[in-house]
Every structure is written in C-alpha cells, then in structure tokens.
Structure 1
C-alpha cells in the first residue's frame, strides 16, 4: 500500500507538531466556502455543471477541456462518450459547450463537435 509523506510520523511533512514546511493557509484557503470574489469555488462549479449536464442528457462528461468565466457566468467545454464501440478507438465522442450562470448552474448546452476517439484534429 502506498504511504503519503504526511502519514509517516517522523516525516518532514508531519504537521501534527506545527512543523509542516508548507503554508497551511494556502492548503485550506478554499475549503468549500465562497471565494473572495463572491462567486462559488471553481471545483463546485465543475461538479455542479457535470451533474446537471448528466441529469439533462443522460451522458457523462469524461473530461473538461476548457473553462472560462465571463461577465454573466461560466462557459465549459466537456468531452462526452456518445457511442461505445469495439475497438475503443472507434468509439464516438463529442464536445459540448455548457453555459452556466454566475452561481454555476446550467443555463444551456450544445454539441459543437463529434469525432472518433482514435482520430486527431486536422491542422
């Protein structure tokens, strides 16, 4: 079983005695509370977007390929498996653009691209 450095009682990263060489304020500065800018934490935005998209479409986002914030909310691009095939390189994937409001809730989505997993974009 792998052991993390801070699981080892004499480790240099053991913070049980306040000797941690990392700044504990940096690690705990965004533990689910609102960010200083007044918006939701980024991880909550991503989780909410993926969950709401999945509920609406029945599709699961495999990855988030971009995330941008504008004056009205958020825009994400996610990669989704639309049709599983054998071999896996022939599976059909799609890129969806997802729009979110300032609180991180889905306001709309659209498919922008569909492609086989094993094919690269043409340059």
Structure 2
C-alpha cells in the first residue's frame, strides 16, 4: 500500500502541513455542539438571561462553541438614562450546555453606552 493511502490523502502525495491543520481544525472543539448553529445559541443565551434578569438583552457581542456547549457575552441595558449615551449597560458571560440550557452567568463589565474600550 502506498504511503499516501495510509494517511488518507489518496492523491499520491505526502500530506502537507496545511492538510494536518485542516484535519485538526475539523476535529477540534471548533465544531458546533449537538449540531446547533451559533445563531441558535445566541437566541438561547439571550432568552434565558432575559428570564433571569427581567431585562431585555441589547445584543450578543461574542459567541463560541466549547467542548461542552457554548459560551457567549451578552450586553444588557441595566439603567436607562437621558441622554441615551449615559445609559448603563452590563456585559454578562453566559455558559450554555450543548442542548442550550443556561448553566452559569456572570456580569463581567458595567459601563456607560457612550464609553469606548481602550487598547491596553
């Protein structure tokens, strides 16, 4: 059996470094848990956090799959003020199971709407 057949390329060539990288990326934790999409996970995180806090989330600023489910950062309006740029928002880090159940949340930041993040 040729060496190319042993490594699964079937092309008669040796696998390149990029072939190995693609395989690792496909088999790593970047796969979607339980076949759900990121959009589904975003809606699930925002909806369950709204139930717990009694406040409507403004946006989901980050979402990523993990080995056990999903992690998301959700922005929530905590104190509405006039002008709107002085309203207070909170960023909540949310952990979901692969099935979409909210397992944990934590407020990681509180800021005014007009505030700009500074690079460190």
Q: TM-score with structure 2 length normalisation?
A: 0.67
Partner of 1:112: 108
When Rg is computed on C-alpha atoms for both structures, the one with the higher figure is 2
The alignment covers a number of residue pairs equal to 89
Q: Which has the higher helix share?
A: 2
Q: Which runs of 5+ in 2 are unaligned?
A: 1-31
Q: What is the deviation of 1:63?
A: 0.7
Q: Which runs of 5+ in 1 are unaligned?
A: 1-35
Q: What is the deviation of 1:37?
A: 6.8
Residue in structure 1 matching 2:117, options 92, 117, 121: 121
How far, CA to CA, are the matches of 1:88 and 1:81 in structure 2? 11
State the SS of the aligned residue for 1:82: strand
> What RMSD over aligned residues (CA atoms) do the two structures have, in Å?
1.9
Partner of 1:82: 78
Q: TM-score with structure 1 length normalisation?
A: 0.66
